Amino acid sequence: MHAPSERDPLPWCLALCFAFLLVCLHRLDVPSRIYFDEVHYVIAARKMLEGVPANREHPMFAKEVIAASIALLGDRAWAWRIPSLLFGVLGLHAFGRMLWHVSRRRFATIAGVFLLAVNFLWFVQSRIAMLDMISAGLGMVALWQFAAVLHQPHWRPRLRLALCGISMGLSLGAKWSVAPILILPGLLFLALRVRERGWRIIGSKGAGPIPGVSLVEAFWWLGVLPLALYWLTYLPGFFWTKRPIDPLGALAHHRYMIELQDSVKRLHPYRSVWYQWMSNWRVIWYLYEATDGSQRGIILVGNPFTMLAGLPALLWCAWAAFWRRRYDALALVVLYVLTLGIWIVNGKPIQFYYHYLLPGAFLMGCLALALDALWRRNDYWRWLTPAALIVALAMFVYFYPIISAGQLHGGKQSFLQWTWLASWR
């Protein structure tokens, strides 16, 4: 077991997040035009500023944030993308805080933040005007706040539960794919209350997991508040002059949204499925052309080392959860399984590698716990930990030009330097 006296690694985590911010800012406005799925969301944000409906198949909050950024900073490339960057940094920090409150392991927390920063997916999605990072970043904040209130139940529990509920509602209002992790706080609160009180759980304010908070109150913070705030994110749509959203027609509107999503049947060349994401087999070329004065490219691929090393780490965490009663390992395994499982059972006909954003993040948490266990050994195996972190960073540095729209000097065939597998081309 870990020592209870381990110091909070907050300064280290903040330093890593600041470094991530600086690296992401480099060439944030390249390409200077809309690319890949920005065509859907930037254009939708522009239309929202005109009061015109667009991209009705997705929730509205992330597009509202992009629209606000355009209104405040101008209709330019870095203004479209700065929301994803800010929420990416926020989500990276929140992931570290969640990992600390769950594990209480200093090294594992620092390693987890580092591994997520260099896993490629978090970096690329933090630099493109899509919905995913706004949703994922807020989802991580919700997990952070709930983990914190479980760890320190006597320190402003209602404030943390309120922040958790608000983050849940806004996260779901950005994109639905975060839904699996948003059901966990309420279910976990209920499970812990049942474990302590049996089925005499209603109205027991003095019971755990948060003394002073009844089950009814928890249902308000973790159920009613998020759903109410989620529906409130549709407020601008209530006032559209053309086909406005009925404020009292939530079910009908969501049926319409699902119909729009399921109507996409045409096969896409970058489509992929969950087991290809796990094996880092299928990638997406977000950009590859001559633009802004040079041949440039942006490929969405996982870090070739950490995404594969994370798989045995996932199995180790499952073993540690079962045999060693490691609840931190169990939490990360459950989060990985839920966020990947939704795509396994999802009937959506076309899926993409960027749907692995959240599972890939929790996989980095599993890898961090496994490396922490190696580091605590008193034999030569412990040196695999710094070696793994060095390799992870080396991969990031090597791939940096092709994940950040850098200048490529080999002409149109430059991509061959990084496309190690035929399926990456």
Q: What is the DSSP string of 143-200?
A: HHHHHHHHHSTTSSHHHHHHHHHHHHHHHHHH-GGGHHHHTHHHHHHHHHHHHHHTT-
pLDDT values of the chain reduced to their tens digit, one per residue, 425 residues: 344 568 999 999 999 999 999 999 999 999 999 999 999 999 999 999 999 988 999 999 999 999 999 999 999 999 999 999 999 999 999 999 999 999 999 999 999 999 999 999 999 999 999 999 999 999 999 999 999 999 998 889 999 999 999 999 999 999 999 999 999 999 999 888 887 766 665 655 566 688 888 888 999 999 999 999 999 999 999 999 888 999 999 999 999 998 888 777 666 778 899 999 999 999 999 999 999 999 999 999 999 999 999 999 999 999 999 999 999 999 999 999 999 999 999 867 788 999 999 999 999 999 999 999 999 988 888 999 999 999 999 999 999 999 999 999 878 888 999 999 989 98
pLDDT for position 203: 54
| Residue tagged 């540095």 (tokens) | 397
pLDDT for position 25: 98
In a domain, 217, yes or no: yes
> How many structural domains compose the chain?
1
- The string of DSSP letters for 342-373 reads HHHH---S---GGGGHHHHHHHHHHHHHHHHH
Amino acid letter, residue 23: V
What letter would DSSP give residue 408?
B
In a domain, 420, yes or no: no
Q: How far apart are CA 306 and CA 328, in angstroms?
A: 20
pLDDT for position 104: 95
In a domain, 172, yes or no: yes
> Six-digit token pair at 9?
């690694």
Residues in contact with 173: Cβ distance below 8 Å, sequence separation at least 6, in sequence order: 59, 60, 61, 62, 229, 230, 233, 234
Q: How far apart are CA 182 and CA 308, in angstroms?
A: 27
In a domain, 423, yes or no: no
In a domain, 424, yes or no: no
Q: What is the 3-state secondary structure (H, E, C) of 84-153?
A: HHHHHHHHHHHHHHHHHHHHCCHHHHHHHHHHHHCCCHHHHHCCCCCCHHHHHHHHHHHHHHHHHHHHCC
β-bridge mates for residue 295, sequence order: 290, 408
In a domain, 4, yes or no: no
Amino acid letter, residue 53: P
pLDDT for position 267: 67
Instruction: Give the structural domain span for 257.
Output: 10-414
pLDDT for position 146: 97
In a domain, 287, yes or no: yes
pLDDT for position 3: 45
In a domain, 270, yes or no: yes
The dihedral built from the CA positions of residue 107, 109, 110 and 115, taken in this order, carries a sign that is positive
pLDDT for position 360: 98
Cα distances (Å, whole numbers) of residue 247 to 177, 253, 256: 23, 9, 14
